[in-house]
Amino acid sequence: MEGKYNNFLKRTFTIVIVIPLIIFIIFWERFPFFIVILLLAGFGLNELYSMARKRGFEPPFILGFILTSYFIFLSIYDYYNIKYDKDIFLIFIIIIAILYFITQMFKKDHIMLLPNISISIFGSVYLGYLFSFILKIKYLPNGNYCLLSLLFITWVNDSAAYIIGTKFGKNRIFPQISPKKSIEGSIGGIIFSTISVFILKNWLSLTFTKLIFLCLVIAIMAQFGDLFESMLKRGSEVKDSGNLFPGHGGILDCLDSLLFTAPVFYYYITFLI
């Protein structure tokens, strides 16, 4: 019980520090927001590769990070009216890939080549393409409040699921993936996320019915994102992806829900606008 209480205090302290900082960055228009996204994606990619290394794999970080950067670059290309051709970045990726393949030719054992490349490409899609939707949301009309709404729904779901699951959780939802996640916590997260519609009605220009459906879908997708990362950690036999945020774990532990909710939120909003 004392361990759960201490963990709750750590989580609360981290939230109190981090959330105001995130809000400040979102509304600081002069700051190049994409740099923050690129740094977070890079740290998350490093955590993902660290988990892969625990299972004996060696995915090429440079190749993965450049491909991750390419996905993020595509998201800001039109917004910042960048003059350079998109294909130049892609050609650079191909050159790096060729150089990587050349270095592999001098190795005696190539049994890990395909898994390593696959992990590298997967990581760039997972943390580059999916996370780039945060930028796309930021650059929508009223994008700051759209992004704030996404973060709010996702955080409410995660926090409510954790608190209710810790207090009342008895029936495990997927014990083979995450032994601590419960049906009670999952339902609580969805309910409280849906209730958050009363705050969002002043941030988003959507009808009450559309807002409720949005909150419901985002809450469900947030839990899928959390479970997916739990599968990755379970397969790598680690408890947390890192220890950057006390009580929360690493970057991946904090972003796992957003990686699944951001694309859904973006297409939901753009379809209805």
Please state, in angstroms and rounded to a whole number, the distance separating the CA atoms of residues 55 and 204: 44
Instruction: Write out pLDDT tens, residues 27-49.
Output: 887 678 888 899 999 999 999 99
Encoded tokens for 30: 């002069």
Encoded tokens for 241: 């992806």
Instruction: Write out pLDDT tens, residues 166-225.
Output: 888 788 888 888 777 888 888 998 998 888 887 887 788 888 888 899 989 999 999 999
Chain centroid to Cα 14, Å, comes to 17
Q: What is the pLDDT of residue 2?
A: 47
Rounded mean pLDDT of the chain?
83
Residue 9 has pLDDT above 70, yes or no: no
Instruction: Write out pLDDT tens, residues 227-237.
Output: 999 898 888 88
Domain boundaries in the chain? 1-28+142-273, 32-139
Q: How far apart, in Å, are the Cα atoms of 2 and each of 5, 8, 9, 14?
A: 5, 10, 11, 18
Percent of the chain with pLDDT over 70: 88
Contact indicator for 112, 240 with CB cutoff of 8 Å: no
Burial of 77 (0-12, 13-18, 19+ CB in 10 A): middle
The mean per-residue pLDDT over the stretch 227-254 comes to: 79
3-state secondary structure of 136: helix
